[in-house]
Amino acid sequence: MSILNFLRGSKTASFTAQAIADHLKGEVEGNPDIIVSSPARIEYSKADSLCFLANPKYEKYLYTTKAAVVLINKDFELKAPVSCTLVRVDNAYEGIASVLELFEASKSSNRRGREPFSFISSKSKYGKNCYIGAFAYIDKGARLGKNVKVYPHVYIGENVTVGDHTVLFSGVKIYADCVIGAGCILHAGSVIGADGFGFAFGADGRYKKIPQTGNVIIEDNVEIGANSTVDRATMGSTIIHSGTKLDNMVQIAHNAEIGQDTVIAAQTGIAGSTKIGQRCRIAGQVGIIGHLEIGNEVNVGAKTGITNNVDDGKSMLGFPAMEASKYRRSFAVFRNLPELRNEVEALKKIVAKREENL
C-alpha cells in the first residue's frame, strides 16, 4: 500500500520507514517496519518521531536522538553508530517538506460537508467533498471546485472563483470577482481584493478616491501567509503567478504582478504596477516603489529599498538599493568611518603644526 493510499484510509498520519522511503524514492538503513506518527526537531524528538538532518550544525543530535526515523542525505557519512532507522534520500530538506505535507493533509483530509450557521447563496456552486465551516459566507455567483476547504468565518464575495483542492483558513476574506487557482493555501486573516490605495489630489486640496474596478488573479499552487493583503487592480488585474509563496504580513498593491515561483518574506511591501519576475527571492522588510520592473531570479536582501528597475539575476542590498557586491564594499568603508575620521583629524593636526613651524 502506498503512503498516499494509507493516508486516505487513516484518521491519523502514521506510517512505516519503508513507506516513507518508497514515497521519497529513498533507501532504508535499519528497521523498515518501524512506525512514526509525528514529525519533530531532531534535538527534541520522541520514540515515535520522524526527524531530518540537513544542516551540519545539528549532526551531534543524530547520535543521541530518540527519534524512530531520521531522513539524511544519501552521501552523508556516519561518524558513530546510531540507534534510529535512517532513510537516505537525495535531499533531506526537500524530503522532509514532502512528508510534512502528508502530515498536514491528514489533519484536514476528513473534513467534509457543511457546518451549521454557514451561509451559501442559492446562486453559488461548490464541488464534491468540500468543507464549509461555521459562519462562513459564500455570496451569489461564487464557484468553488472540488475538495475545497473553507474554514469558519471565511468570506467569499460575489462571483469569486476558487479552484480544486484550495484551502482557505479562518478569517480569509476574498472580495468580489477575484479568482483563486487550484491547490492554493490562504492563511488566516489574509485579504484578497481589497481596494488599491488610489487617490487623486484635487484642486480643492482634498484627495478624491479613484474607484478600483479590477480584480485579483491568483494562479495555481500559490500560498498566501497570515494577514497578507493583495489589492485589486484599478483596472485589469493584480496577478500572482503559479507557485509563488508569500510570507505573513506581505502587502501587494494594485496592478502589481508577481512572477512564477517567487518567494517573498514577511513585512515586505510592493507598490502599485510593479512587476516582479520569476524565481525571485525577496527577504523581509523590503520596500519596492511603484511602476518598476524587477527581472527574473533576482535576490533582494532584508530591509532593502528598491527605487529603480533591476536586471535579471542581480542581487541587491541597502537603501537606496545597489548590487550586493558593491554594497558590501561600501559598507566596509562606512562601518570604519569613526576610525577614518579620527585618522583625518590627527593628520589635520600634524599638517597644522608643520605649517606653524614653516
Residue linked to cell 487592480: 233
Closest listed residue to residue 96, CA positions, set 31, 43, 42: 42
Q: How many CA atoms does the CB half-sphere of 214 hold within 13 Å?
A: 22
Among 1-5, 114-118, 158-162, 327-331, where is mean pLDDT lowest? 1-5
Question: What pLDDT does residue 7 have?
Answer: 38
First CA to last CA across the chain, in angstroms?
96
Q: Indicate the CATH number for domain 113-328.
A: 2.160.10.10
- Copy the grid coordinates of residue 304: 532593502
Across 215-232, average pLDDT: 97
Q: Is residue 156 over pLDDT 70?
A: yes
Which tens digit of pLDDT belongs to each residue from 210-219?
Answer: 999 999 999 9
Across 284-301, average pLDDT: 97
Which tens digit of pLDDT belongs to each residue from 112-121?
Answer: 899 999 999 9
Where in the sequence numbering do the catalytic residues fall? 254
Packing angle of the helix pair 324-334, 337-357 (nearest 10 deg): 50
CATH architecture of 3-108: 3-Layer(aba) Sandwich (3.40)
Question: What pLDDT does residue 4 have?
Answer: 41
Instruction: Determine the Cα–Cα distance for residues 18 and 29; give it in Å rounded to an integer.
Output: 10
Q: Is residue 191 over pLDDT 80?
A: yes
Instruction: Report the relative pairing of strands 49-52 and 69-73 from DSSP bridges.
Output: parallel
CA distances from 70 to 67, 82, 92, 287 (A): 7, 10, 9, 40
pTM for the structure as a whole: 0.80
Q: Is residue 338 over pLDDT 90?
A: no
Question: What pLDDT does residue 107 have?
Answer: 66
Closest listed residue to residue 233, CA positions, set 296, 179, 188, 182: 179
Which tens digit of pLDDT belongs to each residue from 49-77?
Answer: 999 999 999 999 999 999 999 999 999 99
Question: What pLDDT does residue 12 have?
Answer: 52
Q: Is residue 162 over pLDDT 50?
A: yes
Instruction: Determine the Cα–Cα distance for residues 287 and 203; give it in Å rounded to an integer.
Output: 30
